[in-house]
A and B are shown apart, each in its own frame.
Chain A
Amino acid sequence: MKKNLWIVGLCVIGILAASAYAFGRSSAFGDKIFDFGHMKSLDSDTKLSEGDAAPDFDLPAISGNRVRLSEYRGNRHVMLTFIPAAWTPVCSDQWPGYHIARELFEDLDTVVIGISCDNLPSLHAWILEMGGVWFDVVSDFWPHGKVSDAYGVLRSDGMSERAVFIIDKTGIIRFIHLEDINARPDLGVLIQALEELTP
């Protein structure tokens, strides 16, 4: 009898777990998406605050170039968008939105840099699958998550948080948004933060 009750319990938990969470995902990636299911919302200790100097980095991009944050100093604002992992549901439906919003960022004198702890080949294939993006996508794969860790958004599972840092032309962090890893930040909130940088 106890055994039967365990089976019932496991079946019910299994079915409900399968139905627990479904992000509004696009059909664009077909069955290539890997779904971790619902994850711990945040899993890191953010070390930085608004007003701090943004840690510099020099990372390889899928374009084949390297991207150094400090190259934009005195020149453009930077929106640094960390995503947890390529080929996952929410991440796959985040950067395509920034892709079509290019004019919004450019009107606000801002470059977007996408950053992930995935390796370059995986990022390359994923970005191609989504149809390409106009902004640089860089890999924080090796030393693994070094930049994510410097920004305090490296999770214990080796992925980064879903986080956005807005860095002004002087290299100072002016806005930090740590999103629940299971959700996507509202573009309106990010654009509003950028508008506040431009008098």
Chain B
Amino acid sequence: MRYQHNTGRILNRTILAILVMAAGAACIIRPGICSQRSGSLDFDLPVPEESLQQAYLGVQGRDRFTLGQIAARVVIVEIFSMYCPICQREAADVNALFDRIRQDPQLSEQVKLLGIGAGNSAFEVSFFKKKYHIEFPLFADGDFQLHKQIGEVNTPHFFGLKKLENGDMELFFSRSGEIEDVETFLQTLLKESGVTLQP
């Protein structure tokens, strides 16, 4: 009898452990079902072919680079798709964000912006870039490999990462949906970064 009781307790704990592990696995695979998205932005990207974009990111002389290797204290990553009506509609706003940062002498060297086309082939990213006159670097993710790693966020989605003293990147901002107001978005992002930008 006692043996059966202990067996039952062990079984219940095993059930609980399996459920917790399964829920954890589900959070990693599809964070949308959890309260906080928990993908990883620890990936590398091919260095852009255009020398201007290489210089913008500060990644000349490499084949691939990580977000931590970008010459900036804050990196903004937009997850977009050329098929996403919001991404199309707000392409001009994201361009305005890029221009706002580029034209500010305090921000231009310390905040960088790039986009990743979730499920978009190189052709589709190239078309989107040309269509909306986008000057910041865009990268194709045709097979959703990065999108899955990031946490399968909806588009558009914006991540903000800051470089720590030891060179590691820390995610401090993660939001799906439209920018709405460029200045408000930028100031919110800078405030949440906690980074004091050097003049």
- Give bound CA distance, A167 to B29, whole Å: 41
Which of A7-15, A117-125, A143-151 contacts the other chain? Answer: A7-15
Q: Closest residue of chain A to B154, judged by CB?
A: A27
Contact between B22 and A15, CB atoms less than 8 A apart: yes
The dominant DSSP class at the A interface is helix
Query: Closest CB of chain B to A132's CB: distance in Å?
Result: 10
Query: Closest CB of chain A to B77's CB: distance in Å?
Result: 14
What is the number of contacts between chain A and chain B, taking CB atoms within 8 Å? Answer: 106
Contact between A27 and B131, CB atoms less than 8 A apart: no
Interface residues on A, range: 20 to 34
- Give bound CA distance, A4 to B8, whole Å: 10
**A130 adjacent to chain B (CB < 8 Å):** yes
The answer, among B15, B30, B84, B142, for a CB contact under 8 Å with A96, is B84
The answer, among A7, A20, A93, for a CB contact under 8 Å with B15, is A7
CB contact under 8 A between A15 and B83, given known A186-B123, A186-B142, A187-B127? no
- Give bound CA distance, A24 to B85, whole Å: 13
Query: Closest CB of chain B to A104's CB: distance in Å?
Result: 7
Contacts of B131 in A (CB 8 A): 100-101
Query: Closest CB of chain B to A110's CB: distance in Å?
Result: 16
Query: A5-36: which have CB < 8 Å to B?
Result: 7-8, 11-12, 15-16, 18-20, 22-28
Q: Closest residue of chain B to A98, judged by CB?
A: B83
Contact between A184 and B156, CB atoms less than 8 A apart: no
Q: Mark B135-154, 1 if CB is under 8 A from A, else 0.
A: 00000001010010000101
Q: Which residues of B contact A (CB under 8 A)?
A: 7-8, 11-12, 15, 18-19, 22-23, 25-26, 29-30, 32-33, 79, 81-89, 118-119, 121-124, 127-128, 131, 142, 144, 147, 152, 154-156, 176-178
